[in-house]
């Protein structure tokens, strides 16, 4: 593997020479700049992979250069190297975009550890960029949040592109729970001729038959007990655009005939109303069920099934497109690291190996939840296998069942992490916040949110 070139920006000649010799001995090509102007000139002459930056320079300050370089050279990690030991300085540098913060004199091990982390971060960033470009295939219409490079999913996107180019009326998306049916439906709308009109979503399994009918078609005031005012339904809201009916397989059979009629005739009456309303709506339906089986059982109308099944789209489960796992994991890692304000930059090889060997019964949704949980628990710059909490892989959860953990809510995992941190810190909030790598005020808010402050107070009272 070729070593990256390194720029050391340091006005202390002895320190600059020491750092340069350590890096050069490891095969790195090193250049030295004694002030800000020399550093700017060096960067203008050629590209550097990584920069070690001193904060105290004779002609400028390092934080000024840092703020400029993270914008001008976003793919170049900057490692701050300074004599200042204040935590506030470190925090401000990391928030400004520094990859790492080292206090002088930094030994050989610390320098190389920071540099190796920066080069791994660069390699991952380049891989994500390349894979994302492959996924887009230079087609701007695919910049819709569908992240994939697998041949199986690419075939699905090819079908979706063909559908979007036509004036389709119905599409049925099938796939297991968590594969991204809603995301694909929105992508289809975004690529279609209806992209500038409304995209309206209704989950058919979340309400009773009466409420679903009201949500679909709207109602007139007084048409039923809770109808206190006139209300339009999702068909009217989606006029000219797209209506996404999620979990269509759970729709009450008494409503299915009415839905079929509206799809075919594009007209309906509100519940309790007499006026006929005309619309122009494309319908995308989605289900994780075997609809044909429900047709045979008599719980789903065959005529509605065949009307929706004109253009079927089948999304493969994540276990059948493992090529997408590293790219999706990197995408979620970037999102949640920023959300939690943590300097997490990568995923260990062992963690990736665990990803590849796991069956992912919850599909992409489960992967997203696992990464969110790992980012919350992570105490280092890289997520390791111990922080994934995959079923059977973590000693604290070895006795739990696979089904229970796969469905474990993120809020419950967050509460558990906070409880464990508070126990490890013996109730010291500052220490617990340090374990979780979150701000003390954030921890206080989370304690109140989960009612753990009351537990804390009760424990204190019992000791008293």
Boundary of a domain, candidates 133, 167, 186: 133
Query: pLDDT averaged over the chain?
Result: 80
Q: Side by side, which strands form the sheet with 50-53?
A: 29-33, 5-9, 50-53, 78-82, 100-103
- What letter does residue 236 receive in the DSSP assignment? H
pLDDT at residue 463 in the model: 34
pLDDT, tens digit (0-9, with 9 covering 90-100), for 82-95: 777 655 666 677 76
pLDDT exceeds cutoff 80 at 457: no
Asked if residue 327 lies in contact with residue 135, where contact means CB atoms within 8 angstroms, the answer is yes
Domain identity same for 382 and 454: yes
**Is 142 within a domain?**
no
Residue that wins the pLDDT comparison between 127 and 394: 127
Boundary of a domain, candidates 133, 158, 179: 133
pLDDT at residue 223 in the model: 65
Closest CA to 246 of 209, 211, 205, 215: 205
**Is 14 within a domain?**
yes
Residue that wins the pLDDT comparison between 141 and 321: 321
pLDDT, tens digit (0-9, with 9 covering 90-100), for 8-31: 999 888 888 988 899 888 888 899
Structure tokens at 265: 């005739």
pLDDT exceeds cutoff 90 at 261: yes
Whole-angstrom distance, CA of residue 246 vs CA of residue 201: 7
**Structural domain that includes position 173:** 147-316
Asked if residue 224 lies in contact with residue 272, where contact means CB atoms within 8 angstroms, the answer is yes
pLDDT exceeds cutoff 90 at 205: no
Closest CA to 121 of 100, 104, 135: 100
In the three-class reduction of DSSP (H, G, I as helix; E, B as strand; rest coil), residue 152 is classed as helix
Domain identity same for 193 and 101: no
**The total number of structural domains that make up the chain:** 3
Domain identity same for 239 and 209: yes
Domain identity same for 47 and 180: no
pLDDT at residue 407 in the model: 40
Domain identity same for 296 and 154: yes
Domain identity same for 340 and 429: yes
**HSE (side-chain half, CA atoms, 13 Å) at 263:** 26
Structure tokens at 298: 């008599």
Domain identity same for 123 and 153: no
**Is 79 within a domain?**
yes
In the three-class reduction of DSSP (H, G, I as helix; E, B as strand; rest coil), residue 50 is classed as strand
Mean pLDDT across 148-165: 89
pLDDT at residue 424 in the model: 63
pLDDT at residue 296 in the model: 93
Name the pLDDT band for 236 (thresholds 50, 70, 90). very high
pLDDT, tens digit (0-9, with 9 covering 90-100), for 339-370: 888 888 888 767 777 787 788 988 999 999 99
For residue 423, give the CATH number of its domain.
Answer: 1.10.8.60
Work out the angle at residue 310's Cα, subtended by the Cα atoms of residues 304 and 316, and round it to the nearest 5 degrees: 105
Domain identity same for 305 and 401: no
Domain identity same for 217 and 296: yes
**Is 140 within a domain?**
no
pLDDT at residue 413 in the model: 62
pLDDT exceeds cutoff 90 at 279: yes
pLDDT, tens digit (0-9, with 9 covering 90-100), for 409-440: 566 666 767 776 776 666 788 877 777 767 78
**Is 169 within a domain?**
yes
Whole-angstrom distance, CA of residue 382 vs CA of residue 418: 20
Whole-angstrom distance, CA of residue 415 vs CA of residue 443: 11
Domain identity same for 128 and 151: no
């Amino acid at each position: 593997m070729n070593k990256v070139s390194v720029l050391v920006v340091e006005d202390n000649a002895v320190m600059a020479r020491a750092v340069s010799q350590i890096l050069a001995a490891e095969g790195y090509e090193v250049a030295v700049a004694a002030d800000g102007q020399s550093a700017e000139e060096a960067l203008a002459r050629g590209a550097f992979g990584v920069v070690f930056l001193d904060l105290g320079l004779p002609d400028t300050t390092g934080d000024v250069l840092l703020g400029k370089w993270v914008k001008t050279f976003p793919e170049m990690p900057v490692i701050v190297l300074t004599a200042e030991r204040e935590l506030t300085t470190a925090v401000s540098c990391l928030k400004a975009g520094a990859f790492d913060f080292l206090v002088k004199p930094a030994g050989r091990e610390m320098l190389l550890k920071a540099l190796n982390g920066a080069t791994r971060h660069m390699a991952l960033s380049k891989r994500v960029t390349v894979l994302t470009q492959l996924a887009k295939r230079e087609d701007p219409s695919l910049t819709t949040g569908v992240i994939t490079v697998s041949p199986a999913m690419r075939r699905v996107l090819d079908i979706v592109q063909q559908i979007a180019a036509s004036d389709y009326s119905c599409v049925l998306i099938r796939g297991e729970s968590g594969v991204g049916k809603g995301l694909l439906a929105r992508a289809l709308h975004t690529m279609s001729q209806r992209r500038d009109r409304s995209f309206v979503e209704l989950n058919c399994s979340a309400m009773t038959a009466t409420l679903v009918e009201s949500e679909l078609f709207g109602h007139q005031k007084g048409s039923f007990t809770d109808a206190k005012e006139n209300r339009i339904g999702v068909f009217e809201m989606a006029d000219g655009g797209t209506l996404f009916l999620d979990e269509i397989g759970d729709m009450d059979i008494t409503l299915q005939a009415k839905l079929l009629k509206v799809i075919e005739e594009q007209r309906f009456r509100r519940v309790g109303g007499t006026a006929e309303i005309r619309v122009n709506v494309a319908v995308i339906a989605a289900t994780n069920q075997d609809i044909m089986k429900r047709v045979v059982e008599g719980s789903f109308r065959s005529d509605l099934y065949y009307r929706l099944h004109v253009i079927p789209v089948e999304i493969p489960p994540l276990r059948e497109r493992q090529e997408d796992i590293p790219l999706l994991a990197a995408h979620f890692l970037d999102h949640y690291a920023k959300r939690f304000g943590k300097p997490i930059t990568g995923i260990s090889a062992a963690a990736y190996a665990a990803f590849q060997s796991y069956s992912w019964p919850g599909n992409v949704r489960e992967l997203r939840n696992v990464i969110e949980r790992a980012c919350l628990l992570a105490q280092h710059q890289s997520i390791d296998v111990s922080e994934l909490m995959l079923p059977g892989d973590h000693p604290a959860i070895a006795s739990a069942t696979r089904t229970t953990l796969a469905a474990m809510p993120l809020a419950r995992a967050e509460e558990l992490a906070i409880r464990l941190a508070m126990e490890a810190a013996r109730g010291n909030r500052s220490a617990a916040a340090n374990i979780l790598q979150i701000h003390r005020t954030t921890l206080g808010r989370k304690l109140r949110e989960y009612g753990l402050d009351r537990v804390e107070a009760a424990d204190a009272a019992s000791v008293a």
